[in-house]
Amino acid sequence: MIGGHYTYAEVPPFEWIKEAFHQDRNNFDKLGHFAQGFVPAIIAREIIIRNQVVTDTSWLNFFVVCICLAISAFYELIEWCVALISKEAAESFLGTQGYVWDTQSDMALALLGAMVALVTLKQVHDRQISELLAKHQSFN
């Protein structure tokens, strides 16, 4: 909601970071793309585990990352379509700020977000699933 209020290229705290670190652009959108990978990773993991799609941890992680990248790629395609339709407003909507690798770096940050979520939340998530299964079995 902050990005929608200020536009992604003008979010105040990131303006301060831009100036303090002598950056060329306001990188608020990069935080959003990191979250675009981080947030759906555990949701995808939960769905795959509960539906017993795969049991091998390596394949589980692979599919979770693929799902997060697919979400990110789909979002980038939506951005592109809106830019084609909006013509003059495309630059302000996209928030590329002249960065030619914006789409690629957005997807790379979503990838990083997914991997960070898997590494940092795996144990907590596994414990919660085990507790849920134990409660479920005690009711049966």
Q: Using CA atoms, how far apart are residues 37 and 112, in angstroms rounded to an integer?
A: 7
CB count within 10 Å of CB 63 equals: 16
Residue 99: the pLDDT is 67
User: What angle in degrees, to the nearest 10, is found between the helix axes of 28-50 and 57-86?
Assistant: 140
| 111: its two tokens | 């990838």
Q: Using CA atoms, how far apart are residues 105 and 87, in angstroms rounded to an integer?
A: 23
Residue 103: the pLDDT is 83
Residue 3: the pLDDT is 47
- Kindly list the domain boundaries of the chain, sorted by start residue: 36-139
Q: pLDDT tens track of the chain, all 140 residues?
A: 554 545 555 556 656 566 665 667 666 778 888 999 999 999 999 999 999 999 899 999 999 999 999 999 998 898 888 878 877 666 655 555 666 777 888 899 999 999 999 999 999 999 999 999 888 877 76
How is residue 24 annotated by DSSP?
A: S
Q: Using CA atoms, how far apart are residues 43 and 38, in angstroms rounded to an integer?
A: 10
Q: Using CA atoms, how far apart are residues 5 and 76, in angstroms rounded to an integer?
A: 20
Q: Enumerate long-range contacts of 7-16, CB under 8 Å, 24 or more apart.
A: 7/92, 7/95, 8/32, 8/95, 9/92, 9/95, 9/97
Residue 33 in contact with residue 72, Cβ under 8 Å? yes
Q: End-to-end CA distance of the chain, in Å? A: 44
